[in-house]
Structure 1
Amino acid sequence: MVRITRRYIMANRRLLLCSLLLAMLPLLAACELNGGGANVQPTAASLPEEIEDVVSATGEVRPTRWAGLSFPVGGTLSRLDVEEGQQVAAGQPLAALEAVHLQRAVAEARAALAAAEAGLARVQAAPRPEELAAAREAVAVAQANAGVAEAQVTAAEAELERTEAGVSIGRAGVAIAQAGVKVAQAELSRAQAGATPQELAAAGAALEKARAAVRQAQTAYDHAGGAGDTPQALALEQATLDLEMAEADYELLSAGPRAADLAPLRAAVESAQAQVPLAQAQADQAASLATQAEAGLVQAQAGLAAARAQVAQAQAAVEGLEAGPAEAEVAVARASVDGAREALLTAEALLAQATLAAPFDGTAALLQVRPGELVLPNQVVLLFGDLATLRVETTDLDEIDVARVEAGQRVDLTFDALPNRVLAGRVLSVAPVSTPGQTAATYKVVVEFEETDPALRWGMTAFVDIWVD
C-alpha cells in the first residue's frame, strides 16, 4: 500500500498534477466520442492507490521544562558560576551582579534589628536594685539642685530690687544736679542784670530814713547837753551806723554788678553743670546694673524651672522602675523590632535578587552575557532547561489543519539531523488560542516522544506528521 503524506504532495505537486492529467486523458477522449459523456465517472485509475489522512507541520525540539532566566534588577555582572552545557541542581547559583551597596544595606538592617531587639529586652527587663538606687539618688541630687536654684532666684530678686533702688537714686541725682544748674544760672543772671528800679527806690527810701533817724538822734543828743555816755549819745551812734550801711547799700546798687561779685556765681554755675554728667553716669551705671540683675533673675528662674523639671523626670523614672514597663512602651519597642525585621527581610530580598539561581534541576544551555557587562532588569542572561525530557512544539500549524488535531493522535517525527529515522510520538495538547505575533494564525501543538534518540538537541527542527481520523 502506497502512503502519500501532505509533505509528499506539497513537494511533488507538479509531478502529481501531470500524472493525474495523463491518467484522465483517456476519459476526456471517451467523453468526446460519446457526445460529451455526461455520465462519465472517475475511476480508481484517476487517483493514487490510497492517500492516508495526515496533517503535516514544522516544529522545534524543546525541553518540557525550560526558562529564560533574568535578574529582576539591573547592574554589572560580576561572575558566572556555570558553563554552557553544565548540569546543575535546583537552587544552585548560576550568576551574580555586583551588590556591594545591597550587602551594606543588609548589614545596616541587621544592626538596626539587633538594636531594636536590645531596646525591647531593656524595656521588658525588671529593674535591678542598683538601677532603682541610682534613680532615687538622682531624685535626691535633682531636689538639691532645685533648692540651690530657688536660693539663686531669691538672691537675684533681692539684687534686682537693690539695683532698681539705685536707678531711682541715680535719676533723682540727675534731677537735683539739673535743678542746681538752674538755680546757679538764675543767681548769675540776677547778679548780671543789676538792681531793679524797685530795689533802687527801696534803697533810696532806706537811706532817707537813716538820715532822718540821724537828724532826730542828733537833736536829742544836743538837747541832752552833749554828754558822751548818755542814752542820747548811744542812739546817735547807732543811727549813724545805720546811715552808713544804708549809704553803702545804695551806692552798691547804684554802681551795678562788679566782676569780683560775678566770678563766684559763674564758678557756681560751672560746678553745678559739672555735676550733671556725673549724676547721669551714676544713673546709667545703676540702670546697667539693674538690667544685669534682671537678666540674672531670668537666668535664675530658668535654672529653677530646669531643676524642677529634672526633679519631675527623676521622680518619674523612679516611679517607672517601681511600676515596671508600660504596655504602650513595650508595644512601641515591639513595633520597632517588627519594623527592623521587615526592613532586614526587604534588604535580604533585594540582595537575593542580585543572585541568579537554578529554578529546578537542569542544564545551562546558552549564556548570553559575560562578566563585566551591564545587565538590564529582566534581560535574559541564560537559557536553562531540563534536557532529560524533550518534546516537540509546532511553529506553523495553520487554522485549517488545527481543527482536525486533538490530543492522543499518533505522530511521525523526522529530523534533518536523523535522516534515516522516523520517531514515534503522540499529541499531548493543542493550544486553545493562536500564537501571538505571527502574520498568519498559527497554533501550537505539543508532541511528546514515545521514542527518542540521544542525538536530539534543543532547538532542532522537527517535521511533524499527525495522523488524524
Structure 2
Amino acid sequence: MRYLAGALVALLVVAVFSLGGEPLPPESVAAQSPTVTSQIAQVQVSEQDLVVEARVVPVRSIELSFPLSGMTVAEVLVREGDVVAQGDPLVRLDTRDLRLEVERARAQLARVRAEYDQLLEGAPAADVAAAQAQLAEAQARLQQAQARVMPQDIQAAQARLAAAQARLTKLERGARPAELDRARAAVAAAQADLERQRAALAAAKEQARRHMEERANDLRVAQGDYSRAVQEREVASGDDNRGRAAAEALEKATLAMANAESALERAKVDYEAARQAEITGLALAETRVASARAELELLQAGATPDELAQARADVAAALADLARLQGDVRQSELDAAAAAVRYAQTRLEELIAGPRSASIAQAQAAIQLSEVDLKRAELALERATLVAPVAGFVAAVDIDPGELTSAGHPVIVLADSSAWQLEAQSVDDLSIVRVHEGAAVTISFDAVPDLVLTGKVARVKPFGKGERSQALYTVVIAPDMWDERLRWNMPAQVTIAP
C-alpha cells in the first residue's frame, strides 16, 4: 500500500482539534528542528521493522474569534491553506458605523479642547474692544443726561421697574435650596457610583486573578502527573500489559497538560481584560464625579458680577424712567447713566480678569469625558479587524462576507508553521501492539527521494477508529531534523524499529 485513500487524509491540529480538507501547500516552512538540504541514504528494512504511511502536519493550531456580536462581516481576506505572517489581517467587519463613531468622538474632543483653550486665553480682543466702546458710550450718556418727561408712559415704567426688581432679587438670592440639593445629590450619586465601580471592578479583577492562579496550579499538577507517567512508561517498557497501561496513562497526562496550558492562557486573557476594564471604568466614573462637583460649584458661586451689574442697571434705568415721568427727571437720568457706566466698567474688568476656576474645572471634565469616548470608539474599531497572532497556515475558515459575528465563536483556525510532525493515521490493531513511544524511526518521501530523516515515536493515540473487525490507530512521529522542501500533508513512509 503506497498511499491511503484520499478520504482518510485529514489535518490533525494537536493543540485544538482535527480538521479535514486539502489546504494549499505553503511557499516556505518554518522548521522546528535543524534543517537539511539533502541526505542521500538507503533505508534498510528488517523483518521485525514496521513500515507505515504518514503525512506531514503542523503540531498546533490557534482558534481566532471576534469579541463583538451582531457585526456584519465585510471581507474574508484568506482561504484555507493560505500562508500568513504575524499581524496579517484575516477578516474585516463592516466598520462604517465604527469609523463614524470615531470621527464623532474626535470632533467632540476637538470641540471641547478648543473651548477649553478659548477659556484659558480669555476674552477675544474684539469682545474687549466692544466692552471698552460700551463703557465710553455710557460715560458719554452720563455727561449728556437730560430730563425728559413722558406722562403717558408711567404705567409702562412701573411695570419695567417691577420686572427689573424681581430679576435682581432672584439673582441676589442665588440658587434655590432645591437646586443646590439636587446638585449635591448628583455629586453624592457620582461618588457612590465611583465607589461601586471601584469595588465591582476590583472584585472582577481579583476573581480573574484567582482563576488564573487556579489554572496555574492545575497546570503544575498536570505537569507533575505527566512526569510520573513518563517515568512509569520507562519502567514498564519490558512488560506489555503494564506498558500499554502506562502508555494510556501518559497519553491522558499529555492531553491533560495541554488542556491545562490552554486553560491558563485563557485565564491570562480574562485577567488582562478585567484589568483594562477596571482602568477604563474608574476613569469614566471619576470624570463623572468631577463634572458633578464642577456643576455644584457653579451653583454655589451664584450669579456672576456681570449678571448682577446688568440687573442693577436695569433697576436703576427703570427707576430713572419712572422718576423722570414723575418730575425728578434730571437726577434719575443721572442715576441711570451712572449705573450704566458701572455696568460697563464691571463688564470690561470681568473680560480682562479671565475665567473662573469652576468654569475651568468643568471644561477639564468635559475633555476627560470626550477622551474616554474616543478611546472606546477607537478600541471598537481596532477589534473589528481579526489579525494573525502568529505566522502560519489558515487551517479553517468558518465565516463568509455578509454574516453576523457571534462573540467567542471561532471563525479562523491558524496552524503554526514553526513546528512540524508526521502522523500515521491508519496503523491497524495487529501492528499497533509493536509500536511504543520513543521507538526509533526512519522517514522517507517519494516526493524527495534523496531525503531520509530519522526520528522517534512521540506518542501513540490510545483510541482506535474503524469497524469492529479492525481498528486503526494514529502514531505521532517527531523527526530529529527538518527539510525546507517538505510540505503540509505530504505523504511519507515511516519505518519503525521494534
> What's the TM-score bracket when you normalise by the shorter of the two chains?
0.3 to 0.5
- Per the normalisation by structure 1, the TM-score is 0.41
Task: Return the index of the structure with the highest Cα Rg.
Answer: 1
